[in-house]
């Protein structure tokens, strides 16, 4: 990162396509750079199932021995049509749906024409199950994506999911937990600038995502953005407009992508367990920040009466919250737990240990039935609670996919 980028957060101009193509070739893992292993050593691939989009997906380089990647486009900034997305004054049009003409065939041709270096990395099929602003995505869409991945697990060597940045960490966390034990690389990416606009980061992010999705080292859900590969359920969007928009405060990057790919092999998930897809989610889960001076009876009220099943309480520090009678928190905890609300204590801090038992306020909350674990991101805690409420054999403290 340049001194200018460190000082003001402004990313430098992207390298030229020629430089990017050269860098991409340098990054290609042995299997992708030198083509695949001999056919006798590669696992036989079942005939691909027909994908769910109304248009039949098109395949690039059919019949080659390169890794076979399913490219899933969910919408977001990456593929925005800059002509139809802006009015005559250059103002972004409002609304969450993008141009309906974005279909698998044209999208694949457009990507391969704009990013020809991808042809040397893998063969592709494209599916567009969603084409939405990511702020509109939620549990029903995560379930749809989980089903798509599950039924195509044996048909592809890896998966790349193009997704809007605003809720990418939620979707990535949800799928990593719902499909724990998947044992295939599933890499999320996107961009801060549409691929058709100058200085777009779409090219580098997609080339990087495909490169790591072709690597034998990766056998988990990950998020590749701004030259960094992060575990999917540890990633957070921490910058709204910088190219390196995501970070992982509680876990080291899986890899750093520069001229070379520097893998941290000690960080890779090595115990995926038995694959057991869990497709159901209980969507009525909320995040509740503890605000000084705000009584929860006034700010949040009777959540159970309104149909809420679980709440992630974002406490202070290691898990503290006001415990004096006048604050109302302990009475509220007791009342809501007796009515059946699941409560999980998280922290408003991005890093550091989570240990509510260290102080009286946190330990009192635990006595009233709140639970906690080793630190999870708030996004991951929310989606894991959704999963645990749908599957009673699971517990928040049970590790599924490296989230703890």
Which residue segments constitute the domains of the chain, with CATH numbers given? 3-267 (3.40.50.1170), 285-390 (3.40.50.40)
> Between 254 and 363, where is the model more confident?
254
Least confident span in 73-87, 220-234, 336-350, 359-373: 73-87
* Residue that the structure tokens 């503290």 belong to: 320
Structure tokens at 144: 């749809």
Is residue 305's pLDDT more than 50?
yes
Strands (E), 122-232: 123-127, 158-162, 186-189, 221-225, 228-231
How far is 274 from 180, CA to CA, in rounded Å? 8
Higher pLDDT, 385 or 31: 385
Q: What is the DSSP letter of 382?
A: H
Looking at residue 187, its pLDDT comes to: 99
Q: Is 134 annotated as a binding residue?
A: yes
Least confident interval from 177-186, 274-283, 306-315, 359-368? 359-368
pLDDT at 29: 42
114 pLDDT more than 50: yes
| Residues forming beta bridges with residue 72, ordered by sequence position | 127, 161
pTM for the model stands at 0.79
Report residue 267's pLDDT band, with 50, 70 and 90 as the boundaries.
very high
Radius of gyration of the chain (CA): 22
What is d(CA 181, CA 189) in angstroms, rounded to the nearest whole number? 21
The separation between CA 212 and the C-alpha centre of its own chain, rounded to angstroms, equals 15
With contact defined as beta carbons under 8 Å apart, do 143 and 283 qualify? no
Query: Is 165 assigned a ligand-binding role in the annotation?
Result: yes
Find where tokens 């999870």 sit.
Answer: 376
Band the pLDDT of 54: cuts 50, 70, 90.
very low
Alpha-carbon separation of residue 53 from 57, 80, 255, 404 (angstroms)? 8, 19, 33, 36
Tokens of 217: 């080292």
Q: Is the pLDDT of residue 243 over 90?
A: no
Q: Which of 181-190, 191-200, 258-267 has the lowest mean pLDDT?
A: 191-200
Is 364 a residue of the active site? no
Residue recorded with tokens 């750079």: 33
Catalytic residue check, 77: yes
Q: What is the DSSP letter of 67?
A: -
Contact 346, 376 (CB under 8 A): yes
Distances (CA, A) of 77 to 102, 133, 162, 197, 201: 13, 8, 9, 11, 11
Q: Residues near 41 by Cβ (< 8 Å), separated by ≥ 6?
A: none
- Strands 221-225 and 228-231, by their bridges, are antiparallel
The single residue of 10, 59, 82, 165 carrying the catalytic annotation is 165
The angle that helices 139-151 and 168-178 make with each other, rounded to 10 degrees, is 50
Instruction: Give 278's contacts (C-beta < 8 A, 6+ positions apart).
Output: 177, 178, 179, 180, 387, 390, 391, 394
List the catalytic residue out of 77, 211, 364, 377.
77
Does 67 or 58 have the greater pLDDT score?
67
Annotation-wise, does 166 bind a ligand? Answer: yes
For the chain, how are helix, strand and coil distributed in percent, rounded to 5? 35, 15, 50
Mean pLDDT of 66-92: 74
Give mean pLDDT, residues 158-181: 96
């Amino acid at each position: 990162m340049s001194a200018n980028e460190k000082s003001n957060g402004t990313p430098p101009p992207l390298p030229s396509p020629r430089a990017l193509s050269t860098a991409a070739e340098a990054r290609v893992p042995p299997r992708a750079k030198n083509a695949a292993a001999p056919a006798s050593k590669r696992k036989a691939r079942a005939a691909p199932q027909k994908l769910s989009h109304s248009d039949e997906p098109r395949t690039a380089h059919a019949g080659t021995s390169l890794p076979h990647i399913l490219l899933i486009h969910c919408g977001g900034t990456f593929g925005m049509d800059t002509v139809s997305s802006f009015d005559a004054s250059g103002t972004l049009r409002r609304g969450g749906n993008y141009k309906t003409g974005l279909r698998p065939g044209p999208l694949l041709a457009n990507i391969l024409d704009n990013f020809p270096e991808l042809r040397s990395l893998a063969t592709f099929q494209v599916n567009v199950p969603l084409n939405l602003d990511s702020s509109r995505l939620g549990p029903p869409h995560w379930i749809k994506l989980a089903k798509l991945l599950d039924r195509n697990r044996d048909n592809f060597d890896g998966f790349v999911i193009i997704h809007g940045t605003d809720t990418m960490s939620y979707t990535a966390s949800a799928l990593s937990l719902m499909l724990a034990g998947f044992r295939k690389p599933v890499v999320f990416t996107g961009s801060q600038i549409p691929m058709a606009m100058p200085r777009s980061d779409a090219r580098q992010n997609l080339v990087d995502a495909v490169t790591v999705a072709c690597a034998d080292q990766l056998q988990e859900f990950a998020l590749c953005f701004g030259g960094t590969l992060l575990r999917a359920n540890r990633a957070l969007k921490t910058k709204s407009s910088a190219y390196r928009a995501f970070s992982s405060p509680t876990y080291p990057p899986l890899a750093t992508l520069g001229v070379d790919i520097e893998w941290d092999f000690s960080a890779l998930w090595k115990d995926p367990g038995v694959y057991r897809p869990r497709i159901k989610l209980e969507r009525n889960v909320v995040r509740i920040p503890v605000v000084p001076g705000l009584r929860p009876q006034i700010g949040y009220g009777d959540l159970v009466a309104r149909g809420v099943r679980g709440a992630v309480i974002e406490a202070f520090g290691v898990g503290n919250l006001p415990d004096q009678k006048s604050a109302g928190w302990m009475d509220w905890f007791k009342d809501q737990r007796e009515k059946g609300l699941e409560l999980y204590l998280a922290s408003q801090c991005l890093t550091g240990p989570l240990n509510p038992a260290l102080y009286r306020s946190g330990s009192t909350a635990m006595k009233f039935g709140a639970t906690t674990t080793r630190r999870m991101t708030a996004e991951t805690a929310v989606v894991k609670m959704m999963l645990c409420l749908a599957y009673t054999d699971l517990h928040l403290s049970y590790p599924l996919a490296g989230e703890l």
